[in-house]
A and B are shown apart, each in its own frame.
Chain A
Amino acid sequence: NAGVMQNPRHLVRRRGQEARLRCSPMKGHSHVYWYRQLPEEGLKFMVYLQKENIIDESGMPKERFSAEFPKEGPSILRIQQVVRGDSAAYFCASSPSLSTGNEQFFGPGTRLTVL
């Protein structure tokens, strides 16, 4: 049973370009979370999605950031017109449902570097 997969593992973009980060949850998992980890910091929640729905985007910057989790295919975190401050590690986590105590399983992260 493959774990949570994220790609690419490393992404380099120049200021003003777009970054697309992909996350494939574990098989049977329909809940996806995105977190951002700035250097020397803990992970910070960005957005929570179920298939075809954004449930909670309270941690997402209001501009340039968007997320989706289509019926088919991976979840995508999209950052438009990247700036140097977007450089961070972006982690995706998935869980099977919202049943009590369900663990979130993390992917290996995508490290975004903005030049």
Chain B
Amino acid sequence: AQTVTQSQPEMSVQEAETVTLSCTYDTSESDYYLFWYKQPPSRQMILVIRQEAYKQQNATENRFSVNFQKAAKSFSLKISDSQLGDAAMYFCAYRTPSGAGSYQLTFGKGTKLSVIP
């Protein structure tokens, strides 16, 4: 079974600084998808960024980027120029590839990010 581990229950960052959230996962598959979701106090789950395992290039979305290390099964999220609105729970998630099940997401336990003004 796939597992996702987020080893940092809480992190904090100064406004305008950069922070990196860690995520490791375990799978025997070679093709899969990885996601970072943000959950603000409203509890709405918001997709931040997505990475396809067969792509070597790290995904980037504006101030958000990932460091995907497939051999190490590591998928960290870097937030640059942190803003107060980035304060939230961040969840790393894994999804099986097409043709390999129901495509359910497996989530880590989350990292609570605080942004200090």
Contacts and interface: CB of A to CB of B under 8 A. Distances in A.
Interface of A: 33, 35, 40-45, 48, 55-56, 58-59, 89, 91, 93, 95, 98-104, 106, 108-109, 111
B52 A108 contact: no
A42 B104 contact: no
Nearest to B92: A42
B52 A43 contact: no
The number of chain B residues touching the other chain, given as a range, is 20 to 34
Contact of B105 (A40, A45, A89, A111): A45
Interface string B40-72: 001111110010100000000000000000000
Interface in B99-117: 101-110
A101 B45 CA distance: 18
Given A43-B105, A56-B104, A109-B45, 17 more contacts: A33-B104, A35-B105, A42-B4, A42-B107, A43-B45, A43-B91, A45-B105, A56-B101, A89-B43, A93-B45, A98-B98, A98-B103, A101-B33, A101-B52, A108-B42, A108-B43, A109-B43
Contact of A42 (B33, B44, B91): B91
A100 B98 CA distance: 6
Nearest to A48: B102
Contacts of B97: 100
Contacts, number: 59
Interface of B: 4, 33, 37, 42-47, 50, 52, 91, 97-98, 101-110
B44 to A, nearest CB: 5
B35 to A, nearest CB: 8
Most buried by A among B37, B43, B104: B104
A108 B104 contact: no
